[in-house]
Amino acid sequence: MPFAAWPKTDQALWQAAQQKGGIFERDGAAAHWAEATAKQVAKGYGKWLWALQHFGSLDAAIAPALRVTEDLLRRYVAQLQEQGLSSVSITSRVTDLMEALRVMDPKADLTLLRSLVSTLHQRAQPSRNKAHRIKPPAEIWEACIEEMGRITTDPSLLSIAAASRYRDAFALAFLVWAPIRRRNLTALNLGDTLCFKAGRWRVAFSAEATKDKSPLTFALPEDDAYGQAFEHYLMCIRPRLLRSPAIANNASSHQSGPLWISTRGKAMTSHALYYAITRCSERLLGAPLNPHLLRDCAASAITTARPDHVLAASRILGHNQLSTTLKHYEQASMLEAGARLQEVLAEIQARQTPNGLNAHPNPSSPPFFDPWEPH
């Protein structure tokens, strides 16, 4: 159903959701969406309205969220199945509906829709069989922590081979919490794209340096376990690979140069880093996880836990359109990423880590700059 044919209430709510606020007014919930995302969600919502009209159930006097009932959702999904849509396309349609209602009425109870989206994600058939290679982030993180813990902390006893094993495990752990693209991972430079500011290590890439041409800025986790692993890499492991003395505790934040150092003491190439991470994951987990597949792991885990944040996955993973996320990441339990990646991953880890071990970063601060939230 075209926008002009929507009920007036729906039109007004949708326009308000995209409205940018003034100095003393809050932006609408969808004010900072990419144009392509807004068009896709609006199109999906229009299909829902058309279905309601077809069912004889489109009542303009009823609030949009209150039109969503289990019976109508069942009929809608059945209609989509009868039209021959794939499970992934059906998931995308229902997700569009959920996202439209979420921004049109932020206070609406969307429990029913979220439950349906979660179920659809889990049952969607992947376009490529990556399911057997998807690993829970908690499992990856725990394996990395154990590997780094096995390597001596005494710099004088640290061999180049041991230092490279620590580096590979830390690089793998880095991607668990910051599933950035390989090009950006390789381009991390201390004092440039990775800086210590206001007591936090922060990653910052300009729009020109990212595939989707959007700035990428986030802070690394503050958790003690993560912080200790990172500091040990900076103070002992990286200098060892550079054939330099260990760094003093108060000097780690003043280093410069490439973050990832090869066994020859040079900056690692993109291909070298790719294979190092892949080999490390295969050794630790029995499955070769390359940087791109690790992005799948993050998306899959977060989607299963928080399907209401599927659009945030598009931002975190660098996708301009929701359809790209759904198309490429509906593996295993399907995907989704939270607007606060660390928060959601920490929730997952808390449920999966045995005996409540402190094996995950503190979720108090999101690692990714979220353009949909006020700053």
Is 109 within a domain?
yes
Please tell me whether residues 22 and 159 are part of one structural domain. Answer: no
pLDDT per residue as tens digits for the range 16-61: 988 887 777 788 888 877 777 788 889 889 999 999 999 999 999 9
**pLDDT recorded at residue 203:** 87
Helix (H) or strand (E) holding 219: strand 216-219
Q: Which residues sit opposite 196 in a β-bridge?
A: 201
Asked if residue 137 and residue 112 are part of one domain, the reply reads no
Domain's final residue, options 72, 103, 123: 123
Of 219-223, 242-246, 319-323, the poorest mean pLDDT is in 319-323
- pLDDT grade for 365, boundaries at 50, 70 and 90: very low
**Do the domain assignments include residue 236?**
yes
CB pairs under 8 A, 24+ apart, for 230-238?
A: 230/170, 230/201, 232/148, 232/153, 232/166, 233/166, 233/167, 233/170, 234/190, 236/153, 236/155, 236/158, 236/163, 237/158, 237/163, 237/166, 237/167, 237/170, 238/167
- Residue 154: inside a domain, yes or no? yes
Question: Long-range contacts of range 78-86, CB-CB < 8 Å, 24 or more positions apart?
Answer: 79/51, 79/54, 86/125
| Alpha-carbon span 171 to 176, nearest angstrom | 9
Task: Return the minimum-mean-pLDDT range out of 146-150, 310-314, 365-369.
Answer: 365-369
Confidence (pLDDT) at 357: 37
Q: Are residues 148 and 19 in the same domain?
A: no
Whether residue 369 lies inside any domain: the answer is no
Query: Do 105 and 189 belong together in one domain?
Result: no
- Residue 315 above 90 pLDDT? no
Categorize the per-residue pLDDT at 251 as very low, low, confident or very high, splitting at 50, 70 and 90. low
Give pLDDT, residue 270: 86
Indicate the residue among 92, 123, 154 that finishes a domain.
Answer: 123
Q: Do residues 79 and 115 both lie within one domain? A: yes
Check whether residue 196 and residue 250 sit in a common domain.
yes
Choose the weakest-confidence range: 125-134, 203-212, 214-223, 327-336: 327-336
Residues 146 and 116 in one domain: no
- Give the best-scoring range by mean pLDDT among 130-134, 162-166, 283-287, 292-296: 162-166
pLDDT score of 259 more than 90: yes
Residues 172, 210 within the same domain? yes
Task: Please indicate, yes or no, whether residues 147 and 104 belong to a single structural domain of this protein.
Answer: no
- Domain shared by 185 and 61, yes or no: no
What are 269-280's pLDDT values in tens digits? Answer: 988 898 899 889
Domain count, the chain: 2
Pick from 5-14, 27-36, 314-323, 336-345: least confident: 336-345
Among 60, 92, 123, the domain-final residue is 123
- Could you tell me if 226 and 296 lie in one domain? yes
Mean pLDDT, range 300-313, rounded to an integer: 61
Question: What is the identity of the amino acid at 316?
Answer: I
Rounded Cα distance, 318 and 292, in Å: 12
Enclosing H/E stretch for 104: helix 87-104
Q: Of 180-184, 189-193, 250-254, where does the model show the most confidence?
A: 189-193
More confident residue, 292 or 123: 292
Beta bridge partners of 203: 194, 218
Q: Are 148 and 49 found together in one domain?
A: no
> Does any domain span residue 182?
yes
What pLDDT score does 245 carry?
A: 86
The mean of the pLDDT values for the chain is: 77
Q: Which of 114, 112, 318, 143 is nearest to 217 (CA)?
A: 318
CATH classification at residue 352: 1.10.443.10
Examine residue 128 and state whether it is found in any structural domain, yes or no: no
pTM exceeds 0.85: no
Q: Which domain holds residue 8?
A: 3-123
Provide the token pair at 201. Answer: 């290590």
- Does residue 370 lie in a domain region? no
pLDDT > 90: percent of the chain: 26
pLDDT in tens, 158-188: 899 999 999 999 999 999 878 888 899 999 9
361 in any annotated domain: no
Instruction: Determine the Cα–Cα distance for residues 136 and 191; give it in Å rounded to an integer.
Output: 32
For the chain, give the longest Cα–Cα distance.
77
CA angle (178 as vertex; 177, 181 as ends), nearest 5: 145
